[in-house]
């Protein structure tokens, strides 16, 4: 069965986060997704605030832009949250918006090379391995996390193009597909993802972001979620309409009106 989630977008001010997280938790919504847009909220800080303010909701970060972050620091932050809140975090990494990476002097000449090196190193660090690697971008010398997570979170890669999705299938636990993508495109991406999974590995997660037009009835939202689930999505995160500032109402609507229609 597909997991239904809401999105707390970085266009919302941080001070609204507590009320939205509390509403999601009390309404029984399974997941909240956030992301780290330049130059808005930090993905790690936002995730920490949600996790600390709730008891059961899980948090997905979709995604952390790898050019912006040293891989050892990202591993330390993810490991800390995973130890404090075991089983409640799903981090994702990706290229980031290239123009923003240029603004901060972090744009890579080969984003794919960086993403491969970074994801492989991060995956190993979170699993308690000692990592030495000297790639084009990622350089680690005998690095081991002192507090690796007891419950290792799934690590996802964001993307839609075939090479990036294939990379997600090869070196991560799944893919995060951005909004504005049709179910047919998701089905194609799922094929690229599974085509790179080696035998014996767990099934890959497929997270899809969608938007709900203002005033959408619950049945219409559920039907759209069902279309993406049929295309291979395992998690569907719904973004409220841009003019809908009442996210506390929206997360309750998803949990209490939409979710029952999916079972």
pLDDT bucket at 241, cuts 50 / 70 / 90: confident
Condensed to tens digits (0 to 9), the pLDDT of residues 66-85 reads 999 999 999 999 999 999 99
Lowest average pLDDT, out of 125-139, 168-182, 192-206, 225-239, goes to 192-206
pLDDT bucket at 248, cuts 50 / 70 / 90: very high
Check whether 261 has a pLDDT greater than 80. yes
* Segment (H or E) for 128: none
pLDDT of residue 26: 97
pLDDT of residue 201: 77
Condensed to tens digits (0 to 9), the pLDDT of residues 47-56 reads 999 999 999 9
Distance (Å, whole) CA 205 – CA 215: 30
pLDDT of residue 186: 97
Q: Could you tell me how many helices (H) and strands (E) the chain has, helices first?
A: 9, 10
Distance (Å, whole) CA 86 – CA 191: 31
Question: In the predicted model, what is the mean pLDDT of residues 28-37?
Answer: 96
pLDDT bucket at 199, cuts 50 / 70 / 90: low
pLDDT of residue 202: 81
233 vs 245: which has the higher pLDDT: 233
Average pLDDT, the chain: 95
| 98, 167 Cβ separation under 8 angstroms | no
pLDDT of residue 214: 84
**Whole-prediction pTM:** 0.95
What domains are there in the chain, each with its CATH number?
Answer: 3-262 (3.20.20.30)
Question: In the predicted model, what is the mean pLDDT of residues 233-246?
Answer: 88
pLDDT of residue 243: 66
DSSP string, 135-194: -SS-EEEEE--TT--SSPPP-EEE--SHHHHHHHHHHSSEEEEPSS--HHHHHHHHHHHH
198 vs 153: which has the higher pLDDT: 153
């Amino acid at each position: 069965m597909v997991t239904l989630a809401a999105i707390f977008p970085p266009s919302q001010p941080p001070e609204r986060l507590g009320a939205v997280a509390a509403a999601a938790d009390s309404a029984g919504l399974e997941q909240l997704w956030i992301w780290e847009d330049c130059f808005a909220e930090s993905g790690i800080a936002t995730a920490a605030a949600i996790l600390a303010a709730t008891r059961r909701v899980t948090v997905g970060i979709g995604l952390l832009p790898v050019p912006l972050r040293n891989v050892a620091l990202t591993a330390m932050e993810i490991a800390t949250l995973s130890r404090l809140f075991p089983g409640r975090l799903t981090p994702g990494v990706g290229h980031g918006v290239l123009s923003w990476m240029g603004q901060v002097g972090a744009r890579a000449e080969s984003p794919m090379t960086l993403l491969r090196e970074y994801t492989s190193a991060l995956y190993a660090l979170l699993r308690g391995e000692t990592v030495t690697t000297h790639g084009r971008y990622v350089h680690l010398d005998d690095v081991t996390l002192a507090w690796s997570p007891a419950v290792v979170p799934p690590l996802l890669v964001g993307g839609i193009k075939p090479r990036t999705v294939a990379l997600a299938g090869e070196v991560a636990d799944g893919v995060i597909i951005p909004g504005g993508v049709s179910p047919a495109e998701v089905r194609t991406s799922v094929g690229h993802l599974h085509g790179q999974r080696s035998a014996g590995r767990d099934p890959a997660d497929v997270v899809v972001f969608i938007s709900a037009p203002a005033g959408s009835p619950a049945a219409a939202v559920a039907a759209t979620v069902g279309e993406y689930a049929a295309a291979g999505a395992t998690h569907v995160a719904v973004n409220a309409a841009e003019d809908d500032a009442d996210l506390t109402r929206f997360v309750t609507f998803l949990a209490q009106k939409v979710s029952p229609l999916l079972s």
